[in-house]
């Protein structure tokens, strides 16, 4: 007998300010809960992944966008989401420093909100030359007043959420977080409760169809909840394309969509 699915609340986020088309699945951090765990102890860069490449050192408050190679579900999500300059981006974390001033990344993964050494984060997914498939983003000072101070406040708020649960239901305002939701929330708190990044209504449907992708039907059925179709959400690619950010460094060669994909394959026009 199939379990009866509970109705899925969409949380309390206000989307009335910017009515937009629905976005294709935007919770890329779901990969951490759906795919086999990535071994972090046995992965190493072909060169030392200290975060310093070509004279670049990430600053606390920078965002690191990752093109993960984590299997078919990762590929499926990247096919229908769009990052900076067409980049396929599956994950995002926030740069900070530990007590020894070493670089770390605060991120939401299947274990919850954790602090990961920067070199471990960078070594997860490499291009053919052994370079991290990672883009670094920073608040654009021409758009965000006092952006540096705001970014540091976001780091402070992120530290208070260490140990919070991973959001397997992909809902805002439920005291658990997926990767891009964590970024949305800590910058919202740092900005005195005003969102810095936009939430958009999600869709989990097969492109060109009213039916959900089979993988998500199975996933949400396993949780015993309905698919949160139309609920507000956010994704790493969308954040990377925000006008409040500037991509300041590319560690390696991330995969990119061909120009024929158009300006935003995620947007599905409302009927």
Record the tokens describing residue 239, joined without a space. 């954040």
pLDDT of residue 202: 82
Torsion angle of alpha carbons 22, 26, 27, 31, nearest 10°? 130
Level-2 CATH architecture, domain 28-167+175-194+234-252? Alpha-Beta Complex (3.90)
* Alpha helical stretches, state H, 20-129: 30-34, 72-79, 118-122
pLDDT digits (tens, 9 = 90+) for 207-227: 778 888 887 888 889 999 999
pLDDT of residue 173: 86
Question: Taking residues 135-149, what's their average pLDDT?
Answer: 95
Q: Tokens 């654009």 — which residue?
A: 140
Q: Exposed e or buried b for every residue in 117-156, given b needs 16+ CB within 10 A? A: bbbebbbbbbbeeebbbbbbbbbeeeebeebeebbebbbe
Strand order in the sheet with 134-139: 112-117, 103-109, 91-97, 63-66, 134-139, 245-250
Contact 68, 93 (CB under 8 A): no
Question: Taking residues 97-113, what's their average pLDDT?
Answer: 95
pLDDT of residue 47: 39
| pLDDT classification of 259: cutoffs 50, 70, 90 | low
| pLDDT classification of 151: cutoffs 50, 70, 90 | very high
Question: Is pLDDT at 28 greater than 50 in this prediction?
Answer: no
| pLDDT classification of 263: cutoffs 50, 70, 90 | very low
Eight-state DSSP code of residue 247 = E
Question: Is pLDDT at 43 greater than 90 in this prediction?
Answer: no
Cα distance between residue 204 and residue 230, in whole Å: 9
Q: From 112, 260, 263, 85, select the one nearest 177 (Cα to Cα).
A: 112
Phi, psi (rounded to 5 degrees) for 63: -105, 135
Residue bearing the bigger pLDDT, 36 or 119: 119
In this structure, the number of other CB atoms found within 10 A of the CB of residue 109 comes to: 20
| pLDDT classification of 23: cutoffs 50, 70, 90 | very low
Question: Is pLDDT at 13 greater than 60 in this prediction?
Answer: no
């Amino acid at each position: 007998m199939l379990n009866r699915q509970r109705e899925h609340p969409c949380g309390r986020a206000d989307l009335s300010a910017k009515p937009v088309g629905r976005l294709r699945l935007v919770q890329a951090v779901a990969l951490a809960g759906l795919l086999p765990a990535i071994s972090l102890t046995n992965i190493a860069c072909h060169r030392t992944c200290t975060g310093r490449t070509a004279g670049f050192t990430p600053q606390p408050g920078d965002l690191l966008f990752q093109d993960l190679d984590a299997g078919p579900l990762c590929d499926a999500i990247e096919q229908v989401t769009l990052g900076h300059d067409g980049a396929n981006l599956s994950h995002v974390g926030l740069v900070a420093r530990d007590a020894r001033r070493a670089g770390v990344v605060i991120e939401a993964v299947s274990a919850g909100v954790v602090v990961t050494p920067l070199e471990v984060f960078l070594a997860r997914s490499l291009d053919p030359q052994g370079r991290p498939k990672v883009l670094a983003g920073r608040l654009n000072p021409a758009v965000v007043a006092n952006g540096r101070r705001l970014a540091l406040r976001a780091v402070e708020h992120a530290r208070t959420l260490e140990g919070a649960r991973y959001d397997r239901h992909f809902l805002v305002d439920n005291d658990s977080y997926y990767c891009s939701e964590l970024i949305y929330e800590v910058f919202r708190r740092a900005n005195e409760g005003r969102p810095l990044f936009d939430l958009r209504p999600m869709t989990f449907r097969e492109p060109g169809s009213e039916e959900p992708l089979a993988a998500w039907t199975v996933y949400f059925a396993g949780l015993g909840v309905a698919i949160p179709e139309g609920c507000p959400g956010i994704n790493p690619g969308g954040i990377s394309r925000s006008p409040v950010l500037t991509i300041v460094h590319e560690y390696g060669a991330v995969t990119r969509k061909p120009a024929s994909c158009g300006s935003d394959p995620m947007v599905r026009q409302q009927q």
